[in-house]
Structure 1
Amino acid sequence: MQTIGRIIAVAAVGAAAFGLTGCGSDDTGGTATTSTAADQPGGQVAPSESKGRECVADDIEVKGGFGEVPQITIPDDCDPPKQLVVKDLVPGSGPGAASGQQLTMNYALVTWSDRQQLDSSFDRGEPFELTLGDGMVIPGWEQGLEGVQQGARRLLIVPPDLGYGAGGNGVKPNETLVFVTDAVAVPQN
């Protein structure tokens, strides 16, 4: 299992490259498609028929409280969101995280297409440290962790353009990512 810490720097470069090469509009006016696991060359996520609605945060089932290994269940009756979804599942306290601050986070990552856990700092017993706004993490984390308070458990549903885009480092191209994060330490100044 690869850690987000080891693949994050490569992901930031890959996401930037994806953003530069994917500048066309994705509004085709047709039926929306979503990502599902399929026998695709190169492990790509294949489009499938729309379920008729995008999932919202409340559609994702998360069991476990702050500090506990989360159990994440992604439904199969709705499409992955096209925009970043952020929801605090357990409230924190104190000031919210701001750009330039060092955060200590625990996280679990489940991929939308196969609904399997790809990575978990909880399982390793080793939280992940990052400096918010320094480009150390994928854009979905940079945006999704703004304002997080110490002690908060936050759900992030990250669309491909804010995640790993074209894929790599264990993540399939065009994959939607579901993170459950715990803010272990947020500066209190």
Structure 2
Amino acid sequence: MTEITRVPLQPIAKGSLGKLWVGIAAVALAAGGIAWAAMPPQVHVATITAGQGASPVASDVALINYKGTLPDGKVFDEGKNAVFPLQGVIPGFTKALEQMQKGGKYKVEIPSSLGYGDKAQGPIPANTDLTFEIELIDFISGQEYQRQMQMMQQMQQMQGGGAPHGAPGVPGMPPQGLPDGIVPGGPAQ
């Protein structure tokens, strides 16, 4: 066997070890800061009144009271007993509703990237963060909502009526269509 060439390690100068650890800590902090800056924007949900039970999922339909405001405090939209499919609104609104429970009231801050982004929407300028007060009254699965909608249409056809206006009579959800004008999200993006 051949002998491996040994290279003697030089002694570390006095005080150098501390400097080495400070350098390692600085690199770790810088890497953490870069990782934090690269994190995707988040929806902030603050509980005003706690709700109870399960939270809706993206495939559900929610019944809510809401008020949307711009950063200057101007109200751009509001609704009472509004019916919203979670898949039919801006991503930030869906993410917020998924954190809520029936009977709860919440203050929600949605960054523009999870709202309308770089597109203006009615009174909402491009690149605008949105704030909502939302009360989650109830929610049902999207399948149940569709089933009840079909039943209502069949009943109206049997009675000789035309197409229904607004949402069907869903238990716990009064008949109401989606509000005209600006809605939290409009078409899904």
Q: Give the TM-score of the pair, scaled to structure 2.
A: 0.49
Larger relative helix fraction: 2
Query: Which protein has greater RCO, CA pairs closer than 8 Å, 6+ apart?
Result: 1
Q: Give the TM-score of the pair, scaled to structure 1.
A: 0.49
Q: Which of these two proteins has the greater Rg computed from alpha carbons? A: 2
